[in-house]
């Protein structure tokens, strides 16, 4: 049909309307509707692998060149290639590799983002949380919940490296980042080493002592114990279709995830196995611990070795494989508690 003068008039009036909107900070929903409400998640973040053999030399070079007095935390951040340089590995999660040399101190501070650590190499550095120091060994899992004072120090004779995981991008999106420096460089030690584990990690909990229950009171979950639990499962249980043998680090006060926003797992993929592919709306950051394996994400294979990090964004199809003769052990942390709390968890195979 030919355009009538009336159509022409309407087109000109529409053009005027659209020009007037941005100046008033207004937008026409109908022009972007299909971008905003998509049949399935549309993401900027992408799957990625950070190989330890490439990351390690850069981390030790940072340690040689930048003292901890200058860097509050000496960390190389793992930046998702799709997120334009934001301090984020997914839109909710942050990950970084931190290194602390003999004699160094990472000063005491607290912040509302929750943090977890998984020790990658070196032994004998400590993290202090609310007056309790824990000396960390490779494979140990350490929690630093929201708003607790924490600092790190290394009184050993070797460099110590760990993976940091924080919910910083989520907390920033929620406009809820608060941060404070402790008045001194280190917080005073007010409890003996092992205090929290002796109270809470053995099936007991002090009665009639009011406690925050939304995060785990346990500071350190030792690798020897987590590995033993996994080996016990692998000896007698049937493996899970998707995850092999999957152990969750739990908050003993609830049986749920260690932190309100992040869950953490240690996983055992049996030798010579190809597990089933699936997808879900929680995102995961994997760290190779023992053996080697492959995670195929949206059709692309990412082989991993110990200390490689792989990010599997939300709703990416992914599948684990262990072609080798030894069990393949992976650590991971996810935003699963957030997704479930908001009733947004979906899974498909
Ligand atoms: O160790 O407290 O990777 O505050 C980023 C922010 C580590 C930490 C990070 C932090 C820390």
Tell me: the pLDDT tens digits for 284-316?
A: 999 999 999 999 999 999 999 999 999 999 999
The answer to whether residue 163 is domain-embedded is yes
Residue 253 lies in a domain: yes
> Which parts of the chain register pLDDT below 70?
1
Tokens of 71: 């860097």
- The confidence score (pLDDT) of residue 5 equals 86
pLDDT value for 1 = 65
DSSP conformation class of 94: E
Say what the pLDDT of residue 228 is. 98
Report CA 1 to chain centroid distance, whole Å. Answer: 58
Q: Please, which residues have CB within 8 angstroms of residue 272's CB and are 6 or more apart in sequence?
A: 322, 323, 324, 325
214 vs 22, 114, 146, 255, CA distance in Å?
A: 43, 11, 10, 11
- Name which of 318, 339, 320, 336 is nearest 328 in CA terms: 320
Residue 294 contacts residue 304 (beta carbons within 8 Å): yes
The tally of CA atoms less than 13 A away on the side-chain side of residue 48 is: 15
Q: How far is the CA of 205 from the centre of ligand 1 (A)?
A: 29
Q: 62: helix, coil or strand?
A: helix
Name the nearest CA neighbour of 76 among 299, 324, 108, 66: 66
- For the Cβ of 96 lying below 6 angstroms from any atom of ligand 1, the answer is yes
Distance 164 CA to ligand 1 centre (A): 7
Nearest CA to ligand 1 atom 1: 73
Q: How does strand 160-166 pair with strand 94-100?
A: antiparallel
* CA 4 / ligand 1 centre spacing (Å): 65
Please indicate, yes or no, if residue 43 is contained in any of the structural domains: no
Asked whether residue 10 is domain-assigned, the answer is no
CA dist., res. 248 & res. 252, Å (int): 11
Å from CA of 176 to ligand 1 middle: 16
**Burial (Cβ within 10 Å: 0-12, 13-18, ≥19) of residue 320:** buried
Q: What range defines the domain where residue 134 resides?
A: 48-348
What's phi and psi for 229, nearest 5 deg?
-60, -45
Return the CATH number at 220. Answer: 2.60.120.10
List the residue whose alpha carbon is closest to atom 6 of ligand 1. Answer: 73
Residue 200 lies in a domain: yes
Q: Is residue 317 lining ligand 1, measured as CB closer than 6 Å?
A: no
| Edge-to-edge order in the sheet of strand 328-334 | 48-50, 309-312, 284-290, 328-334, 263-269, 245-249
Question: Based on the structure, what is the number of domains in the chain?
Answer: 1
Asked whether residue 5 is domain-assigned, the answer is no
Indicate the top mutation candidate among 87, 96, 108, 178 to test ligand 1's pocket, ranked by most ligand atoms within 8 A of CB. Answer: 96
State the distance from the centre of ligand 1 to the C-alpha of 319, rounded, in angstroms: 30
Query: Contact 155/214 with Cβ under 8 angstroms?
Result: no
Q: Which of 99, 215, 96 is nearest to 148 (CA)?
A: 215
pLDDT score recorded for residue 226: 98
Looking from the CA of residue 164, the nearest atom of ligand 1 is 3
Distance from residue 245's CA to the centre of ligand 1 (Å): 30
Nearest-5° Cα angle at 123, 121 to 129: 105
- Whether 151 lines ligand 1, by a CB cut-off of 6 Å, is no
Atom of ligand 1 nearest to the CA of 150: 2
Q: Can you give the pTM of this predicted structure?
A: 0.96
Tell me if 21 is assigned to some domain.
Answer: no
Shortest-distance Cα residue to atom 10 of ligand 1: 73
d(CA 320, CA 133): 36
Domain assignment of residue 38, yes or no: no
Ligand 1 centroid to residue 342 C-alpha, Å: 26
For the Cβ of 122 lying below 6 angstroms from any atom of ligand 1, the answer is no
Of 152, 148, 147, 149, the C-alpha closest to 136 is 152
Query: 73 C-alpha vs ligand 1 centroid, how far in Å?
Result: 6
């Amino acid at each position: 049909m030919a355009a009538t003068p009336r159509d022409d008039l309407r087109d000109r009036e529409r053009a005027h309307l659209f020009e007037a909107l941005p100046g008033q900070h207004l937008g026409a929903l109908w022009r972007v509707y299909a971008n905003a409400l998509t049949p399935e998640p549309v993401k900027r973040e992408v799957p990625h692998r950070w190989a330890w053999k490439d990351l390690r030399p850069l981390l030790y070079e940072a340690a040689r060149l930048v003292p901890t007095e200058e860097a509050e935390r000496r960390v190389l951040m793992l930046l998702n290639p799709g997120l334009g340089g934001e301090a984020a590995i997914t839109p909710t999660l942050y990950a970084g590799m931190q290194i602390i040399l003999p004699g160094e101190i990472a000063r005491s501070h607290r912040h509302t983002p929750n943090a977890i650590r998984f020790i990658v190499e070196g032994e004998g550095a400590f993290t202090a949380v609310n007056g309790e120091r824990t000396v960390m060994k490779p494979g140990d899992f350490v929690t630093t919940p929201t708003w607790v004072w924490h600092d790190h120090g290394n009184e050993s004779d070797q460099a110590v490296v760990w993976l940091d995981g924080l919910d910083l991008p989520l907390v920033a999106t929620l406009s809820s980042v608060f941060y404070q420096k402790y008045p001194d460089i280190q917080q005073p030690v007010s409890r003996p080493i092992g205090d929290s584990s002796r109270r809470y990690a053995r099936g007991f909990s002090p009665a009639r002592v009011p406690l925050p229950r939304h995060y785990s009171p346990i500071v350190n979950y030792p690798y020897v114990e987590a590995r033993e639990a996994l080996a016990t499962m692998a000896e007698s249980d049937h493996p899970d279709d998707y995850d092999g043998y999957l152990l969750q680090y739990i908050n003993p006060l609830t049986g749920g995830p260690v932190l309100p926003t992040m869950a953490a797992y240690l996983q055992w993929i049996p030798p010579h196995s190809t597990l089933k592919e699936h997808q879900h709306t929680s995102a995961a950051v994997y760290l190779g611990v023992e053996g080697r394996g492959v995670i195929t994400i949206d059709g692309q294979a990412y082989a991993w070795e110990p200390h490689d990090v792989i990010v599997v964004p939300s709703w990416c199809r992914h599948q684990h494989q262990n072609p080798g003769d030894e069990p393949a052990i992976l650590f991971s942390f996810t935003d699963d508690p957030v997704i479930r709390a908001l009733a947004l968890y979906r899974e498909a195979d």
